[in-house]
Amino acid sequence: MDDETQIASILKSSSLYPIPQSLKLSYGTAGFRGDASLLDSTVYRVGILSSLRSLKLNSSTIGLMITASHNKLSDNGIKLSDPSGGMLSQDWEPFADQIANASSPQKLVSLIREFVEKEGIVIGEKSGGEVWLGRDTRPSGERLLRAAEIGVSSVLGCVAVDFGVLTTPQLHWMVRAKNRGLRASESDYFESLTASFKCLIGLIPVSAKNSATLLLDGANGVGGMKMEVLRGFLSGLDVEIRNTGRDGGVLNESVGADFVQKEKVVPLGFGDKDVGVRCVSFDGDADRLVYFYIPENSCGGDKVELLDGDKILSLFALFIKEQLKSLGDEGKETRLGVVQTAYANGASTDYVKEMGLEVVFAKTGVKHLHERAEEFDIGIYFEANGHGTILFSESFMSWLVGKQKELSEGSDEYNAVSRLVAVSNLINQAVGDAISGLLLVEVILQHMGWSVQKWNELYKDLPSRQVKVEVPDRTAVVTTSEETEALKPLGIQDAINGEIKKYQRGRAFIRPSGTEDVVRVYAEASTQEAADSLANSVAQLVKSFLG
């Protein structure tokens, strides 16, 4: 990168966004995230990175999303989508860290020049890089989006396209569609969901339909707003939307999927009047969802029965296995697999294994689960927090579409194939998506004729406890790639195994935090008292080995 015009462009624009002193950021699963008032320089620099990524990949469209998901309103963040609609390639994360933390415009230019030469990226007026931008509803989003635009366009020949307020999954879906040569606007996203939902509703056995009202907690974020738009196109689903953000509620404050999943209490705006009703919560940028209901015996209508990502995964696996079963021997040959993290409740893992499905474990973080799910013909992954999706391989989809043409319309086999094709179009294969996930849950419950209570009876979660232990150096803990066992410090895993043996259905593991000097402890056992005791004893082991 020796072009003087290019260097001058970056030096000039970067002087508008000086890096705050002592700011140190790292690109993780959630991209960069922090106090919005400190992020202008970071967002500007990620704009540059996104342009370089587009040029590196033959001017493919890259997505740049400004969001802090389930974080508090005053935070914000930025993450990139690769052309596939998935997360930014992990190979580029070190470069993201370097340019985000470059101490001066001159250092920034030096890093970019070195990287461009190493990667063989050609920059020029006619290079044609393109970056699509979206943001959630945070007040800081508009300002930060301007910084991203300036960063993108400071790379010669690259353009930014602002799509305004979107859910994170919408932007990922649109980027994936654009790079596959498909129609890729927000209205195309709504159209795809509506058509596939309608197809699945039409294939439900008449005797099964059960369409009681669903109550949606929109987390006072973008998800509720977009669901209101989609609701206008849907028939076969009655949704009442609360916490839309228009009634003075604050984004993610005592509302949303993260709050409900962690606290296991009702979000604001829900209470006694909703006992027994099927409810669902989105998070702030609508890439997670959890279901819940208030049980009959809830004192004060506060506690909830939670149906988290594990329960959603189990429902999806059950439905897809049922369709494959209808395809006879060919269905049996299909590799249907489930990907979980060590945090998945042991009861859910047992349930899926009892179904005869292959279960593999991946390191915590969506990008790791997504990668493992791609190994199957149909790969289902979910984290307990409600983030997940279903992936269909290209070869399996080609076979399925061909099969559909051979079968007699209306036969059981034809209907099963049609359902699988519709699911592949309904679910967002780019990334976890609360809206498409909600539609698939709803259509499966109607297909089964199940209430939310009946769904909850698939299995009973084992009691669990999570504990954080502050340590001088979290890197002293090294785990296996699945994070289920500790390799270092030497001897700690044997000590943990000794504690586990003391408890019925005991299971425990430790893993270092990715962001702070703490070690996370997870434990489960047959009773809550036993899970608490096991977690505490493992925490004590961490202190004694690392103290």
- Residue list, annotated binding site: 69, 283, 285, 287, 383-385, 511-515, 520
- Specify whether 192 is catalytic: no
Q: Which of 383, 346, 386 is nearest to 367 (CA)?
A: 383
SS3 state at 76: strand
Q: Which of 14, 50, 54, 69 is catalytic?
A: 69
Q: Are 476 and 488 in contact (CB under 8 A)?
A: yes
The size of the chain, in residues, is: 547
Rounded Cα distance between 124 and 26, Å, is 30
- DSSP conformation letters of 411-473: SHHHHHHHHHHHHHHHS-SSS--HHHHHHHHHHHHHHHT--HHHHHTT--PPPEEEEEEE-S-
Contact partners, residue 35, CB within 8 Å, separation at least 6: 74, 75
Contact partners, residue 452, CB within 8 Å, separation at least 6: 278, 279, 291, 293, 307, 445
- Residue list, annotated binding site for Mg(2+): 69, 283, 285, 287
Rounded Cα distance between 369 and 214, Å, is 29
Strands 507-512 and 518-524: what pairing? antiparallel
- DSSP conformation letters of 198-226: HHHHHTS-GGG---PPEEEE-TTSHHHHH
Distance of CA 201 to the CA centre of its chain: 26
Active site residues: 69
